Structure 1
Amino acid sequence: MRSSRIRLIEIIVAVAVTIISVASLFVAVFQGVVMQRQLEASVLPIPTIAHGNYDSEEQVHRLSYYIGNRGLGPVDIRWLHFIHEGVTYPGPIPYFVSLVEGYDDDPEGREEAFQQIFEDNQVLTNPVAPQLLAPDDEAGFIHFTRPAEGTPDRAYWERLNAARWESEVQVCYCSVFDQCWIGRFPQNQRDRVRSCELNR
């Protein structure tokens, strides 16, 4: 009888130890998940897209586009697309080229005209992606001073100036933990994705 009672106590103790061990494991795993999420949130990148048509410092009409990072951690820009009138352009330059008029059946002629416009007006352009931006950092990827009135280049500048309000910009970017999103501007929306394709 005494032996049975001791065995029962041993079983109860063993079950209690098992329950405590499982509970401790659950707490440890849960704490690990919470800490990981806190760490991810502490380096969350938040890219921004801004554009304007006036340089207040130099007091000249200058069309500019900027990409920035208002997040807590660095943002890894993988690609940037422009969407205008239902057409997606893989990067700023194809989008800018598309706004050159009069070459619907001559893509090469349109490309040459675009290059001539940018050369004649000393338009400054910089690559957008791939690019790594630190928190509170900002990079301009086009600076185009308004040409003289009545010139073909001025007409192109005006089209580009008007189109920036009618276009959507999509940016695929990742955090230092390789978490990736697609951001949409000017909607300021973002959707989580598995990865970004550099050559998309």
Structure 2
Amino acid sequence: MGNGNKVEMLLAICAVITSAVAVFIAWDQGRVMRAQQHGAVYPVVQIEGFVSSNDTIASMGLRLSNSGVGPALIERVDMLKDGEPVDSLAPYIDHFPPGYQQSWSSLIGRAVAPGSEVEPLRVDWPREAVSVAERNAAAAAWSELDVEICYCSVFNRCWIARGLGMGTSMSRAEPVKRCERSETDIFEAVANQFRPLQTEPTPEVE
């Protein structure tokens, strides 16, 4: 093999190596760019129970917030007892002292913007209508339940987050491949299970 052929072969090997390095750099830059894109829309969902009161109102409920930098697409919400889904919240609603007013918000399919909060369940009493002991007893019954939420980013990266009962914080979200959309919203279903606010009967007009 002449010197010319050796030079040509060396140049060909260098060209192959250069092409391989260029492909690797392009792949690595694409990977970094994708990571930056995902990081720019990374949602962090937290749900926790709350119990509060002021001079006029005593309250308890659940609060969901997104402390991330991208919208959280809520796909599934389950209430769990000892790790198993609960079919109905009626037994826990029965622990609420009478005389309350309730509000609720559906979560399934909701996009929670960064920095936003949603209260899927809230119960209020006039301050004089419920004692601290009654409210704490109701909160203790609800603290037996865990809340599990499956949510995704706009790039379809998904996580499961779990909250632990009324008045306690949730654990760190765990990544999952995908979220199965819930067929029903347990907080929408619970609206029909509340006892109405007790009022004095309206006298009949003769």
What is the CA–CA distance in structure 1 between the aligned matches of 2:30 and 2:40, rounded to whole Å? 15
Runs of 4+ in 1 over 2 A off after TM superposition: 84-87, 146-150, 157-160, 163-167
CA deviations over 1:121-160 (Å, ceiling 9, x no partner)? 331111122210110001111221137359xxx96x6553
The one-letter code sitting in structure 2 at the alignment partner of 1:198 is: R
Work out which of the residue numbers 5, 8, 16 in structure 2 matches 1:7.
5
Paired-residue identity, %: 26
Work out which of the residue numbers 149, 157, 173 in structure 2 matches 1:171.
149
- Is 2:98 the partner of 1:98? no
The one-letter code sitting in structure 1 at the alignment partner of 2:72 is: V
* Count of paired positions: 174
Q: Is the 8 A contact 2:51 2:59 kept in 1?
A: yes
The one-letter code sitting in structure 1 at the alignment partner of 2:139 is: N
Q: Is the 8 A contact 2:46 2:67 kept in 1?
A: yes
Compared with structure 1, are the counterparts of its residues 86 and 134 closer, same or farther at alpha carbon in structure 2 (3 Å cutoff)? closer
Q: Residue 137 of structure 1 aligns with which residue?
A: 116
What is the CA–CA distance in structure 2 between the aligned matches of 1:125 and 1:139, rounded to whole Å? 9
CA deviations over 1:75-96 (Å, ceiling 9, x no partner)? 0111111112454226xxx33x
Work out which of the residue numbers 140, 159, 165 in structure 2 matches 1:162.
140
Work out which of the residue numbers 175, 193, 196 in structure 2 matches 1:192.
175
Q: Residue 74 of structure 1 aligns with which residue?
A: 71
What is the CA–CA distance in structure 1 between the aligned matches of 2:118 and 2:93, rounded to whole Å? 25
Task: Point out where structure 2 has 5 or more consecutive residues left out of the alignment.
Answer: 164-168, 184-206
The one-letter code sitting in structure 1 at the alignment partner of 2:50 is: G
Q: Is the 8 A contact 1:49 1:66 kept in 2?
A: yes
Task: Point out where structure 1 has 5 or more consecutive residues left out of the alignment.
Answer: 103-113
What is the CA–CA distance in structure 2 between the aligned matches of 1:121 and 1:59, rounded to whole Å? 13
The one-letter code sitting in structure 2 at the alignment partner of 1:137 is: S
Q: Is the 8 A contact 2:74 2:150 kept in 1?
A: yes
What is the CA–CA distance in structure 2 between the aligned matches of 1:8 and 1:171, rounded to whole Å? 65
What is the CA–CA distance in structure 2 between the aligned matches of 1:72 and 1:180, rounded to whole Å? 15
Q: Is the 8 A contact 2:46 2:170 kept in 1?
A: no
SS of 1:37's equivalent in the other structure is helix
